[in-house]
Amino acid sequence: MRVWLALLGLATALPGQASTGYWIMDNDVVVRTDGDYTNGLFLGHVSQPGARLPAPLRPFARHLPESNTYWHAELSQKMWTPSDLNPDEQSQLERPYAGVLLATVGLGTEETKHSDHYGISVGVIGPASGAEAVQRQVHKWLGNTAPDGWESQIENTPLMQLSWLRNERLWQSSTEGTGWDLLWHPRAQGGNVQSEAAVGASLSFGNDLGQLRGRHWQQPPISPSGQVGWALFIGTEVRYRLNDITLQGPRPDDAPDVTMTHWQGSWAVGLRGHYKRVGAAFSVQGDSPAYESVSNRWTSYGRLLFTWQY
Protein backbone atom coordinates (compact mmCIF):
# COMPACT_ATOMS: atom_id res chain seq x y z
CA MET A 1 0.00 0.00 0.00
CA ARG A 2 2.81 2.43 0.82
CA VAL A 3 4.34 1.88 -2.63
CA TRP A 4 1.03 2.64 -4.35
CA LEU A 5 0.58 5.83 -2.31
CA ALA A 6 4.14 6.93 -3.04
CA LEU A 7 3.68 6.50 -6.79
CA LEU A 8 0.34 8.31 -6.76
CA GLY A 9 1.91 11.11 -4.76
CA LEU A 10 4.77 11.37 -7.23
CA ALA A 11 2.35 11.45 -10.15
CA THR A 12 0.32 14.30 -8.67
CA ALA A 13 3.21 16.33 -7.33
CA LEU A 14 3.31 18.60 -10.38
CA PRO A 15 -0.16 20.16 -10.82
CA GLY A 16 -0.90 21.96 -14.06
CA GLN A 17 1.28 19.72 -16.23
CA ALA A 18 -0.41 17.61 -18.93
CA SER A 19 0.43 14.02 -18.00
CA THR A 20 -0.80 10.56 -18.99
CA GLY A 21 -1.87 7.88 -16.55
CA TYR A 22 -2.34 4.27 -17.59
CA TRP A 23 -3.60 0.90 -16.38
CA ILE A 24 -2.66 -2.37 -18.10
CA MET A 25 -3.71 -5.96 -17.56
CA ASP A 26 -2.10 -8.97 -19.26
CA ASN A 27 -3.80 -12.35 -19.02
CA ASP A 28 -3.70 -15.59 -20.98
CA VAL A 29 -7.45 -16.17 -20.46
CA VAL A 30 -7.85 -14.59 -23.94
CA VAL A 31 -6.17 -17.61 -25.54
CA ARG A 32 -7.62 -20.03 -22.94
CA THR A 33 -4.28 -21.37 -21.75
CA ASP A 34 -2.13 -21.32 -18.63
CA GLY A 35 1.60 -21.60 -18.41
CA ASP A 36 4.73 -19.47 -18.54
CA TYR A 37 3.83 -15.74 -18.40
CA THR A 38 0.20 -15.82 -17.28
CA ASN A 39 -0.78 -12.46 -15.73
CA GLY A 40 0.47 -8.89 -15.35
CA LEU A 41 -0.90 -5.70 -13.77
CA PHE A 42 0.58 -2.22 -14.34
CA LEU A 43 -0.29 1.27 -13.07
CA GLY A 44 1.79 4.22 -14.20
CA HIS A 45 2.36 7.86 -15.10
CA VAL A 46 4.18 9.55 -18.01
CA SER A 47 4.75 13.32 -18.04
CA GLN A 48 4.84 15.62 -21.05
CA PRO A 49 8.29 16.54 -22.44
CA GLY A 50 9.50 19.69 -20.76
CA ALA A 51 7.56 19.10 -17.54
CA ARG A 52 9.36 19.97 -14.31
CA LEU A 53 11.18 16.88 -13.06
CA PRO A 54 10.88 15.55 -9.50
CA ALA A 55 13.91 16.59 -7.44
CA PRO A 56 15.41 13.04 -7.14
CA LEU A 57 15.55 12.72 -10.96
CA ARG A 58 17.06 16.12 -11.81
CA PRO A 59 20.73 15.13 -11.27
CA PHE A 60 20.31 12.35 -13.86
CA ALA A 61 18.91 14.77 -16.48
CA ARG A 62 21.77 17.30 -16.51
CA HIS A 63 22.98 16.23 -19.95
CA LEU A 64 19.51 15.76 -21.48
CA PRO A 65 17.71 18.48 -23.49
CA GLU A 66 15.31 20.05 -20.98
CA SER A 67 12.51 20.83 -23.44
CA ASN A 68 12.46 17.22 -24.74
CA THR A 69 12.83 15.35 -21.45
CA TYR A 70 9.97 13.61 -19.62
CA TRP A 71 9.75 11.34 -16.57
CA HIS A 72 7.76 8.24 -15.78
CA ALA A 73 6.79 6.02 -12.84
CA GLU A 74 5.18 2.58 -12.73
CA LEU A 75 4.13 -0.13 -10.28
CA SER A 76 3.87 -3.61 -11.81
CA GLN A 77 3.16 -7.17 -10.76
CA LYS A 78 3.84 -10.13 -13.06
CA MET A 79 3.52 -13.88 -12.57
CA TRP A 80 4.61 -17.11 -14.27
CA THR A 81 3.23 -20.62 -13.75
CA PRO A 82 3.54 -24.13 -15.22
CA SER A 83 0.91 -25.13 -17.77
CA ASP A 84 -0.90 -27.49 -15.37
CA LEU A 85 -2.03 -25.77 -12.15
CA ASN A 86 -2.82 -29.07 -10.38
CA PRO A 87 0.33 -29.90 -8.32
CA ASP A 88 -0.33 -33.65 -8.60
CA GLU A 89 -0.07 -33.43 -12.39
CA GLN A 90 2.69 -30.85 -12.81
CA SER A 91 5.73 -32.08 -14.71
CA GLN A 92 9.23 -31.63 -13.32
CA LEU A 93 10.19 -30.52 -16.84
CA GLU A 94 8.13 -27.33 -16.52
CA ARG A 95 9.00 -23.99 -14.97
CA PRO A 96 8.45 -23.14 -11.29
CA TYR A 97 5.84 -20.67 -10.06
CA ALA A 98 7.19 -17.11 -9.82
CA GLY A 99 5.75 -13.69 -8.92
CA VAL A 100 7.48 -10.30 -9.27
CA LEU A 101 6.53 -6.91 -7.81
CA LEU A 102 8.46 -3.91 -9.19
CA ALA A 103 8.44 -0.12 -8.77
CA THR A 104 10.03 1.72 -11.72
CA VAL A 105 11.03 5.36 -12.19
CA GLY A 106 12.98 6.92 -15.02
CA LEU A 107 13.54 9.54 -17.68
CA GLY A 108 12.94 9.79 -21.39
CA THR A 109 13.66 12.10 -24.31
CA GLU A 110 11.59 12.64 -27.44
CA GLU A 111 13.25 13.97 -30.58
CA THR A 112 11.84 14.42 -34.08
CA LYS A 113 12.68 10.93 -35.28
CA HIS A 114 13.39 8.95 -32.12
CA SER A 115 12.49 8.62 -28.46
CA ASP A 116 14.64 7.10 -25.69
CA HIS A 117 13.23 5.64 -22.48
CA TYR A 118 15.46 4.97 -19.42
CA GLY A 119 14.36 3.29 -16.20
CA ILE A 120 15.48 1.79 -12.92
CA SER A 121 13.33 -0.81 -11.18
CA VAL A 122 13.48 -2.18 -7.65
CA GLY A 123 11.27 -4.79 -6.06
CA VAL A 124 11.01 -8.39 -4.95
CA ILE A 125 10.35 -11.87 -6.31
CA GLY A 126 8.68 -14.52 -4.15
CA PRO A 127 5.73 -14.70 -1.74
CA ALA A 128 6.24 -11.01 -0.83
CA SER A 129 5.14 -10.06 -4.37
CA GLY A 130 1.53 -11.03 -3.55
CA ALA A 131 1.21 -12.92 -6.86
CA GLU A 132 -0.37 -16.01 -5.30
CA ALA A 133 -3.22 -14.04 -3.70
CA VAL A 134 -3.90 -12.13 -6.93
CA GLN A 135 -3.99 -15.24 -9.10
CA ARG A 136 -6.24 -17.12 -6.69
CA GLN A 137 -8.72 -14.23 -6.67
CA VAL A 138 -8.67 -13.78 -10.46
CA HIS A 139 -9.21 -17.51 -11.04
CA LYS A 140 -12.06 -17.45 -8.51
CA TRP A 141 -13.75 -14.60 -10.41
CA LEU A 142 -13.29 -16.37 -13.76
CA GLY A 143 -14.24 -19.83 -12.47
CA ASN A 144 -10.87 -21.28 -13.52
CA THR A 145 -8.76 -24.02 -11.94
CA ALA A 146 -7.33 -23.00 -8.55
CA PRO A 147 -3.53 -22.60 -8.72
CA ASP A 148 -2.29 -25.02 -6.05
CA GLY A 149 1.48 -25.08 -6.59
CA TRP A 150 2.56 -21.74 -5.17
CA GLU A 151 4.25 -23.39 -2.17
CA SER A 152 7.05 -24.27 -4.62
CA GLN A 153 7.49 -20.76 -6.02
CA ILE A 154 10.80 -18.90 -6.37
CA GLU A 155 11.74 -17.65 -2.90
CA ASN A 156 11.86 -14.04 -1.67
CA THR A 157 14.77 -12.16 -3.29
CA PRO A 158 15.35 -8.37 -3.67
CA LEU A 159 15.43 -7.16 -7.29
CA MET A 160 17.06 -4.32 -9.21
CA GLN A 161 17.04 -3.68 -12.94
CA LEU A 162 18.25 -0.96 -15.36
CA SER A 163 16.60 -0.58 -18.78
CA TRP A 164 16.81 1.39 -22.03
CA LEU A 165 14.45 1.39 -25.01
CA ARG A 166 14.49 3.41 -28.24
CA ASN A 167 11.59 4.00 -30.65
CA GLU A 168 13.04 5.24 -33.95
CA ARG A 169 11.11 6.01 -37.12
CA LEU A 170 12.53 4.41 -40.25
CA TRP A 171 9.78 5.36 -42.70
CA GLN A 172 6.40 7.12 -42.79
CA SER A 173 4.07 7.27 -45.79
CA SER A 174 2.26 10.46 -44.75
CA THR A 175 2.65 13.12 -42.06
CA GLU A 176 -1.04 14.06 -42.21
CA GLY A 177 -4.18 11.92 -42.20
CA THR A 178 -4.16 8.14 -42.44
CA GLY A 179 -0.94 6.39 -43.39
CA TRP A 180 1.74 3.82 -42.64
CA ASP A 181 4.57 4.06 -40.13
CA LEU A 182 7.61 1.76 -39.68
CA LEU A 183 9.70 1.90 -36.48
CA TRP A 184 12.55 -0.12 -35.06
CA HIS A 185 13.09 -0.75 -31.35
CA PRO A 186 16.56 -1.57 -30.01
CA ARG A 187 16.61 -2.08 -26.25
CA ALA A 188 18.73 -3.48 -23.43
CA GLN A 189 18.26 -4.23 -19.75
CA GLY A 190 20.49 -5.54 -17.00
CA GLY A 191 20.10 -6.65 -13.40
CA ASN A 192 19.13 -9.73 -11.45
CA VAL A 193 15.62 -9.91 -12.97
CA GLN A 194 16.26 -10.49 -16.69
CA SER A 195 19.39 -9.27 -18.49
CA GLU A 196 19.07 -9.13 -22.26
CA ALA A 197 19.75 -7.25 -25.50
CA ALA A 198 16.98 -7.07 -28.12
CA VAL A 199 16.00 -5.51 -31.39
CA GLY A 200 12.51 -5.33 -32.85
CA ALA A 201 10.34 -3.53 -35.39
CA SER A 202 6.70 -2.43 -35.62
CA LEU A 203 4.43 -1.43 -38.48
CA SER A 204 1.38 0.77 -37.86
CA PHE A 205 -1.53 1.93 -40.02
CA GLY A 206 -3.87 4.70 -38.92
CA ASN A 207 -4.07 8.42 -38.18
CA ASP A 208 -2.42 8.44 -34.71
CA LEU A 209 1.23 8.11 -35.70
CA GLY A 210 2.78 11.39 -34.53
CA GLN A 211 4.06 10.61 -31.04
CA LEU A 212 7.10 8.37 -30.68
CA ARG A 213 6.78 7.95 -26.91
CA GLY A 214 4.90 4.77 -26.12
CA ARG A 215 5.16 3.23 -29.59
CA HIS A 216 6.68 -0.08 -28.50
CA TRP A 217 3.83 -2.58 -28.04
CA GLN A 218 4.88 -3.11 -24.41
CA GLN A 219 4.49 0.62 -23.63
CA PRO A 220 1.30 2.64 -23.03
CA PRO A 221 0.47 4.70 -26.16
CA ILE A 222 0.74 8.48 -25.65
CA SER A 223 -1.63 10.58 -27.79
CA PRO A 224 -2.30 14.33 -28.01
CA SER A 225 -5.45 15.50 -26.21
CA GLY A 226 -8.37 17.13 -28.03
CA GLN A 227 -8.22 14.80 -31.03
CA VAL A 228 -9.62 11.49 -32.20
CA GLY A 229 -7.14 8.89 -33.41
CA TRP A 230 -6.63 5.21 -34.04
CA ALA A 231 -4.01 2.78 -35.37
CA LEU A 232 -3.58 -0.91 -36.13
CA PHE A 233 -0.14 -2.29 -35.35
CA ILE A 234 2.01 -5.40 -35.57
CA GLY A 235 5.42 -5.94 -34.00
CA THR A 236 8.13 -8.52 -33.65
CA GLU A 237 11.37 -8.85 -31.66
CA VAL A 238 14.40 -11.11 -31.28
CA ARG A 239 16.54 -11.06 -28.11
CA TYR A 240 19.42 -12.74 -26.35
CA ARG A 241 18.74 -13.27 -22.64
CA LEU A 242 21.61 -13.82 -20.20
CA ASN A 243 19.71 -14.56 -16.99
CA ASP A 244 16.12 -14.95 -15.78
CA ILE A 245 15.42 -15.09 -12.05
CA THR A 246 11.89 -16.43 -12.67
CA LEU A 247 13.58 -19.62 -13.90
CA GLN A 248 16.92 -19.61 -12.09
CA GLY A 249 16.12 -18.01 -8.73
CA PRO A 250 16.32 -19.73 -5.32
CA ARG A 251 13.57 -22.31 -4.87
CA PRO A 252 12.43 -25.16 -2.61
CA ASP A 253 13.95 -28.59 -3.25
CA ASP A 254 10.75 -29.88 -4.88
CA ALA A 255 10.53 -27.03 -7.42
CA PRO A 256 11.45 -27.81 -11.06
CA ASP A 257 15.01 -27.10 -12.19
CA VAL A 258 14.89 -26.00 -15.85
CA THR A 259 17.42 -24.72 -18.38
CA MET A 260 16.84 -21.24 -19.82
CA THR A 261 16.78 -20.65 -23.58
CA HIS A 262 19.10 -17.76 -24.46
CA TRP A 263 17.72 -16.88 -27.92
CA GLN A 264 14.07 -15.84 -27.74
CA GLY A 265 11.49 -13.93 -29.78
CA SER A 266 8.14 -12.16 -29.44
CA TRP A 267 5.29 -10.93 -31.62
CA ALA A 268 2.27 -8.65 -31.15
CA VAL A 269 -0.79 -7.54 -33.10
CA GLY A 270 -3.35 -5.04 -31.87
CA LEU A 271 -5.44 -1.89 -32.12
CA ARG A 272 -5.14 1.37 -30.20
CA GLY A 273 -7.28 4.50 -30.22
CA HIS A 274 -8.20 7.61 -28.25
CA TYR A 275 -10.97 10.15 -27.97
CA LYS A 276 -9.88 13.50 -26.56
CA ARG A 277 -8.23 12.69 -23.20
CA VAL A 278 -9.15 8.99 -22.95
CA GLY A 279 -7.55 6.10 -24.83
CA ALA A 280 -7.61 2.31 -24.98
CA ALA A 281 -5.75 -0.51 -26.70
CA PHE A 282 -6.06 -4.26 -27.06
CA SER A 283 -3.45 -6.65 -28.39
CA VAL A 284 -2.58 -10.33 -28.51
CA GLN A 285 1.09 -11.04 -27.85
CA GLY A 286 3.23 -14.15 -27.90
CA ASP A 287 6.65 -15.35 -26.75
CA SER A 288 8.88 -18.17 -27.92
CA PRO A 289 9.99 -20.78 -25.35
CA ALA A 290 11.87 -19.33 -22.37
CA TYR A 291 13.33 -22.70 -21.33
CA GLU A 292 14.39 -25.88 -23.11
CA SER A 293 11.82 -28.37 -21.81
CA VAL A 294 8.75 -26.20 -22.47
CA SER A 295 5.73 -28.13 -23.74
CA ASN A 296 4.38 -25.37 -26.03
CA ARG A 297 6.23 -23.86 -28.99
CA TRP A 298 4.72 -20.40 -28.28
CA THR A 299 2.86 -18.94 -25.30
CA SER A 300 0.31 -16.19 -25.92
CA TYR A 301 -1.67 -13.70 -23.86
CA GLY A 302 -3.98 -10.73 -24.30
CA ARG A 303 -3.22 -7.16 -23.19
CA LEU A 304 -5.95 -4.63 -22.27
CA LEU A 305 -4.86 -1.04 -21.72
CA PHE A 306 -6.52 2.25 -20.72
CA THR A 307 -4.95 5.72 -20.72
CA TRP A 308 -6.19 9.08 -19.47
CA GLN A 309 -4.74 12.59 -19.45
CA TYR A 310 -4.81 14.91 -16.47
Radius of gyration of the chain (CA): 19
Cα separation, 215 vs 116, whole angstroms: 11
What per-residue confidence (pLDDT) applies to 92?
61
Q: Given pLDDT bands bounded at 50, 70 and 90, which one contains residue 1?
A: very low
What per-residue confidence (pLDDT) applies to 14?
42
Which comes out higher in pLDDT, residue 68 or 256?
A: 68
27 in Cβ contact with 138 (< 8 Å): yes
Length of the chain, in residues: 310
Backbone angles phi, psi at 128, to 5 degrees: -65, -15
Cα separation, 84 vs 82, whole angstroms: 6
Q: Quote the percentage of the chain above a pLDDT of 70.
A: 86
Q: What is the mean pLDDT of residues 137-154?
A: 75
Q: How far is residue 235 CA from its own chain's centroid?
A: 14
Per domain, the residue ranges of the chain are 2-309
Which class in CATH covers the domain with range 2-309?
mainly beta
pLDDT in tens, 67-113: 999 999 999 999 998 876 555 555 566 788 999 999 999 999 999 89
pLDDT in tens, 11-58: 444 443 479 999 999 988 776 666 689 899 999 999 999 999 999 999
What per-residue confidence (pLDDT) applies to 297?
76
pLDDT at 176 over 50: yes
pLDDT in tens, 257-293: 888 999 999 999 999 999 999 999 999 999 999 998 7
pLDDT in tens, 182-221: 999 999 999 999 999 999 999 999 998 988 999 999 999 9
Q: Given pLDDT bands bounded at 50, 70 and 90, which one contains residue 298?
A: confident
Which comes out higher in pLDDT, residue 174 or 202?
A: 202
